[in-house]
Amino acid sequence: MSTTNQRAFNFNAGPSALPLEVLQIAEKQLINFNNTGMSVMELSHRSKDFEQVHNEAIARLRQLYAVPDNYEVIFLQGGASLQFSMIPMNFLQSGEQADYILTGVWSEKALAEAKLFGAPVAVASTKDNHYKNIPSVHQINFNDAAAYVHLTSNNTIYGTQWKDFPTTIAPLIADMSSDILSKPIDVSKFALIYAGAQKNLGPSGVTVVIIRKDLLEKAHNNIPTTLKYSTFTENNSLYNTPPTFGIYMLGEVLKWVEKQGGLEKIATHNEAKAKLIYDAIDGSNGFYIGHAEKESRSLMNITFRLADEELEKQFLAEAKAAGFVGLNGHRSVGGCRASTYNAVPYETCKALADFMHAFQAKH
């Protein structure tokens, strides 16, 4: 456990660590928000107090990412998994092609949903290499006439991440659930960005969508009301009751990012944190084995194994006893995974690196 505040060394992949400062603010305001005599969870979503929370969160996200004026920012529910269906439901006709780039389980799931609505094609996949790398953009044959191109920017299970995004003729759509807000990006390269909040943005329950207006205008009309993006853009995300507490927390996280110096500072900090653990892997002479190829390594999810399976189990057991939480790899692949999202402190990553060095020396 951390000696300063008795909080766990939290490496959970999601829901994940939240900034302690944000949690402390929420604690103070939980019962009486803004002198209303109510918790933010008790406020009407139509009230002026919540409207201010809601609009400020959108404005801060726009400012941090320099979102151009020709984009809408909306808050939805259902997580990234619902977006897997909403995207083809809104933008893919029967028999029409969409290009999907497969880099892990979540992009596979997105493709499977798209097949219910059109004729999506996997234009690139690294599955044969056990998803150890991101495909080379120069080797992908995109269909310029495709309805859209879909990719997953960071892969939590396999620990890979796009460093540079492709430039496409067809609208580019990205699932950024696990690395949104971790570094600057050029929003104008994308027609639609979506992300579940539970990694870097806040608690689970909120989904952020940044959508370009010209793509929005191409959406189909013959779909259920609450599955249309336009329903929410036309109502400032307030068509029905939104996840009010989640949006409040998201807004506080955005304030925290501003206090850290913005996305450039956050990115530098994330690189330093990840380096501690990758250095422990690379300097272990094969005791720890990283899953992802070096040029594709994620700064958010560090995946590795130990050469000996029994020793790996012992490593995880001893790490848990030492106060480290969430180091087990995804149930589908096993191994170890350290998720070093924005709110995971440098000191927590150093503690893990020190533990890895000590465990190796002992064994």
Q: What is the pLDDT of residues 89-146, one digit of tens each?
A: 999 999 999 999 999 999 999 999 999 999 999 999 999 999 999 999 998 999 999 9
Q: Which of 132, 199, 228, 273 is catalytic?
A: 199
Do 250 and 283 lie in one domain? The reply is no
Mean pLDDT (whole number) for 53-66: 98
Do 335 and 198 lie in one domain? The reply is no
Are 335 and 312 in contact, with CB atoms under 8 Å apart? yes
Secondary structure (3-state) at 28: helix
Do 57 and 203 lie in one domain? The reply is yes
Do 108 and 197 lie in one domain? The reply is yes
What is the per-residue pLDDT for 3? Answer: 41
Mean pLDDT (whole number) for 165-193: 98
Q: At what angle do helices 48-65 and 244-259 cross, to 10 degrees?
A: 40
Q: Which of 99, 106, 179, 273 is catalytic?
A: 106
d(CA 68, CA 323): 43
pLDDT tens by residue, 310-346 = 999 999 999 999 999 999 999 888 899 999 999 999 9
Residue 113 lies in a domain: yes
Q: Residue 273 sits in a domain of what CATH number?
A: 3.90.1150.10
Per the annotation, the verdict on 256 as an active-site residue is no
Do 83 and 205 lie in one domain? The reply is yes
Task: Give the domain-ending residue among 209, 238, 259.
Answer: 259
The mean predicted confidence, pLDDT, of the chain is: 96
d(CA 303, CA 58): 33
Task: Give the domain-ending residue among 230, 259, 288.
Answer: 259
Residue 1 lies in a domain: no
d(CA 130, CA 145): 30
Do 250 and 268 lie in one domain? The reply is no
Do 252 and 118 lie in one domain? The reply is yes
Percent of the chain scoring above 90 in pLDDT: 96
Total of domains in the chain? 2
Do 159 and 231 lie in one domain? The reply is yes
Q: Which domain holds residue 117?
A: 24-259
Q: In this structure, what token pair is assigned to residue 64?
A: 């941090």
What is the per-residue pLDDT for 270? Answer: 98
**One-character DSSP codes across 252-304:** HHHHHHHHTTSHHHHHHHHHHHHHHHHHHHHTTTTSEEESS-GGGB-SSEEEE
Residue 13 lies in a domain: no
Q: In this structure, what token pair is assigned to residue 178?
A: 């696990």
Q: How many CA atoms lie within 13 A of 95 on its CB side?
A: 0
Residue 31 lies in a domain: yes
Per the annotation, the verdict on 99 as an active-site residue is no
Q: Residue 57 sits in a domain of what CATH number?
A: 3.40.640.10
Per the annotation, the verdict on 106 as an active-site residue is yes
Q: Is the pLDDT of residue 43 over 70?
A: yes
Cα–Cα distance list, 133 to 103, 125, 155, 159, 333 (Å): 8, 10, 10, 9, 16
Q: Which of 99, 175, 183, 273 is catalytic?
A: 175
Do 242 and 300 lie in one domain? The reply is no
d(CA 192, CA 311): 44
What is the per-residue pLDDT for 9? Answer: 97
pLDDT tens by residue, 198-222 = 999 999 999 999 999 999 999 999 9
Do 254 and 230 lie in one domain? The reply is yes
d(CA 194, CA 102): 17
Q: Is the pLDDT of residue 5 over 80?
A: no
Residue 12 lies in a domain: no
Do 199 and 70 lie in one domain? The reply is yes
Tell whether the torsion through CA atoms of 164, 260, 199 and 186 is positive or negative: negative
pLDDT tens by residue, 113-128 = 999 999 999 999 999 9
Residue 9 lies in a domain: no
What is the per-residue pLDDT for 4? Answer: 46
Do 222 and 73 lie in one domain? The reply is yes
